[in-house]
Structure 1
Amino acid sequence: MYNSKITGLGFYVPDNVVTNEDLTKFMDTSDEWIQERTGIKERRWIKDGSEDTSAVMGAKASRIAIERAGLTSKDIDFIVFATLSPDYYFPGCGVQIQNMLDMRTVGALDVRNQCSGFIYALSVADQFIKTGMYKNILVVGSEFHSGGLDKTTRGRGVSVIFGDGAGAVVLSRTEDNTKGILSSHLFSEGAHAEELTVLAPSIRHWVPEILEANDENDESYFPYMNGTFVFKHAVVRFSEAIMAGLETNNLQVSDINMLIPHQANLRISQFIQKKFRLQDDQIYNNIMKYGNTTAASVVIALTEAWEKGKIKDNDLVVLAAFGSGFTWGSVIMRW
């Protein structure tokens, strides 16, 4: 029975830093208001005219991950790309990555699970490796949020939260069943799909309607979030997903060396930390610098924590996420 382990990690964020103070120039907000509600101090937004897109950023992060794995793009057997902000409505970003990295004609799969996208993508890759189908899989999470946000006072409740960026890992086959991904746990509750959503464009609200309406006040094109409702569900589902993983592997909360939560809101992470009585060195947050990068957030945080030496050999690492759908999940791994 094969197991899978992360052999390479990388992330990329645009150079353009947008501080809370910068946002006050075009919306009625303040640094204090944003930090109090989200914990965010700044985020990265792609500059107008930049070459960066979700696929391009994903390719930049992937090159780093592949090099750190000691591989070349020709060694990758499969691609799983998670994003809610693809370059095109279709095709997905996975095939763009295959082309940008000059890979063999390997399969490419796109995952649309928003904030929990990387958890879902990693779990899919894990199963492909454990069944023996593939040896090295590139798993990418990338988001270009800034191009689709309502950057006015009307949209401040959502727009101040999100940032752009990408992360990638190479998941490789190993015969050591004591290391790597021990288990993954995925959940959904579609009854709350419209509590965090972008309603249009969609097949039901498509090009002719867009052209006919041409209404700059139509809020359906911008992200909507029922913040309080989402927060209340997030703190419950985060906990459930983490406990599901620990119980499956006969582990305790005290066994966790590093928890990497989806960077949705610093207040959610702090709630989870307090609930599980984790020390500051047992949880990693970087939303303060990057905002919520959705499908990229977990992998960016994981990579940064590893780069800083906060994750060591044999550590028990827990990844957890909750978001639109609602979908949520966790991955338990032994580093």
Structure 2
Amino acid sequence: MYTSTIAGLGHYVPDNVVTNDDLSKMMDTNDEWITERTGIKERRWVDPKTGDSPSTMGTKAARIAIKNAGLTPDDIDFIIFATLSPDYYFPGPGVMVQEQLGVKEIGALDVRNQCSGFVYGISIADQFVKTGMYKNVLVIGAENHSGGLEKSSRGRGVTVIFGDGAGAAVVQRCEDSGKGILSTHLHSEGKHAEELALIGPSTGRWVPEIIKENDPEDASYYPYMNGNFVFKHAVTRFMEVIGEALATNNHKPEEIDLLVPHQANLRISQFVQKKMGLSDDQVYNNIMRYGNTTAASIPIAMSEAWQEGKIKEGDLVCLAAFGSGFTWASALIKW
């Protein structure tokens, strides 16, 4: 068995900054209301004129990650793309990245696990590398939420939270058994699927059907979130899955050099930090600048933390995510 390690990181966010004050001009909200509930001050939204999409943003992040790994696109053996907002219903964005990178006809896999999608992707890449099937696996998380949000007072509870962007990592074979991805832990609980979901359009509720009904009160084609319910489950599952990763590898919370949680809500991250007795230096948050970018949030945060020198060789890094599905996941990495 080989060891797998994260050899390179990269991220890309649109230039278009949308502040809380900008949102107050679209809906009944204000900076104080948004900051108090989420910790978010601004987010990036795609400008349609730029042509940015999940696949193009993912490709931009991927090129940076590949370069930082000291590789070229031709060195990549497999692509894993996590998103809830693909360019099309089908085909998935993984194959579009293969084309945009201009690489040989390698395999591409799409992961639909929403907020925990990137950690699921890291877990899949880890297995491929450890078994010797692939040497360099590209894992991408990318989202374009802004095109599907309800930008009105009715939709403010969801719309103020989400942003666009992409992050990527190269998972690489490593001969050093003392470092790398130590373990990953994946869970789901489908009975709560509709507490955080987009009900339509879907295969059970196609766009022509929605248009035919022409019901102005129909909000089923916008994302729905039962905020308090999701929050309560999130803080519980975050604690559980982080504890599971630490226990599996005989580590204690105080031994974590950096926890990179999914950027769902700053209040969730702060609650987990307090419960685990971690200092501010042991937890990385950037939700205040980017909002919740779902599958992109952990790779963007991890890439920024690495750039800022907050992830160093030998560090114990924990990734943890919770979101729609419900699904939740963690990964413990010796850098």
After TM superposition, is the score higher than 0.5?
yes
How far apart are 1:312 and its partner, in Å? 0.9
Tell me the C-alpha RMSD between the 2 structures. 0.8
Distance in 2, Cα, partners of 1:48 & 1:300: 21
Following superposition, the deviation at residue 54 of structure 1 comes to 0.4
Partner of 1:189: 189
Aligned letter for 1:154? R
2:169 aligns with: 169
Residue ranges of structure 1 left out of the alignment (5+ in a row): none
Instruction: Tell me the distance in 2 between the aligned counterparts of 1:48 and 1:25.
Output: 20
Is residue 160 of structure 2 the alignment partner of residue 160 of structure 1?
Answer: yes
Is 1:283 the counterpart of 2:298? The answer is no
Residues in 1 aligned to 2:312 and 2:95: alpha-carbon distance in whole angstroms: 34
Task: Give the TM-score normalised by the residue count of structure 2.
Answer: 0.99
AA at the equivalent of 1:51: G
Q: SS of 2:104's equivalent?
A: coil
Quote the Cα distance in structure 2 between the aligned partners of 1:208 and 1:315: 52
SS in 1 for 2:98: helix
1:62 partner letter: A
What amino acid is aligned across from residue 40 of structure 1 in structure 2? I
- For the residue of structure 1 that corresponds to 2:185, the secondary structure is strand
CA distance in 1, matches of 2:177, 2:188: 28
Matched, 1:145 2:148: no
Amino acid at match of 1:235: V
- What is the rounded CA distance, in whole Å, between the counterparts of 2:86 and 2:230 in structure 1? 24
- The equivalences for 1:156-305 within 5 A come to 156-305=156-305
The range that moved more, 15-24 or 45-54, is 45-54
Q: 1:216 deviation in Å?
A: 4.4
State how 1:80-99 maps to structure 2 within 5 Å: 80-99=80-99
What's the CA shift for 1:215?
3.8
The superposition leaves residues 226-270 of structure 1 with CA deviations (integer Å, 9 ceiling, x where unpaired) of 000000000000000000000000111111000000000000000
Residue 28 of structure 2 is matched in structure 1 by 28
Total equivalences in the alignment: 335
Name the aligned partner's letter for residue 172 of structure 1: Q
Q: Does 1:123 align with 2:123?
A: yes
CA displacement, residues 53-103 of structure 1 (integer Å, 9 cap, x when unaligned): 000100000000011111111110000000000000011000000000001
Specify the alignment match of 1:113 in structure 2. Answer: 113
List structure 1 segments (4+ residues) > 4 angstroms apart after TM superposition: none
Tell me the secondary structure at the aligned position of residue 219 of structure 1: coil
Q: Secondary structure at the match of 2:50?
A: coil
Find out whether 1:101 has 2:101 as its counterpart.
yes
Instruction: Tell me the SS of whatever aligns to 2:49.
Output: coil
Post-superposition Cα deviations, 1:185-204, rounded to whole Å, max 9, x if no partner, equal: 00010010000000011111
Matches of 1:230 and 1:79, distance apart in 2:
31
What displacement does 1:50 show? 1.8
Q: Give distance in 2, aligned partners of 1:216 and 1:97.
A: 37
Q: What residue identity is the alignment partner of 1:224?
A: Y
The alpha carbon displacement at 1:206 in A equals: 1.2
How far apart are the structure 2 equivalents of 1:207 and 1:147?
15
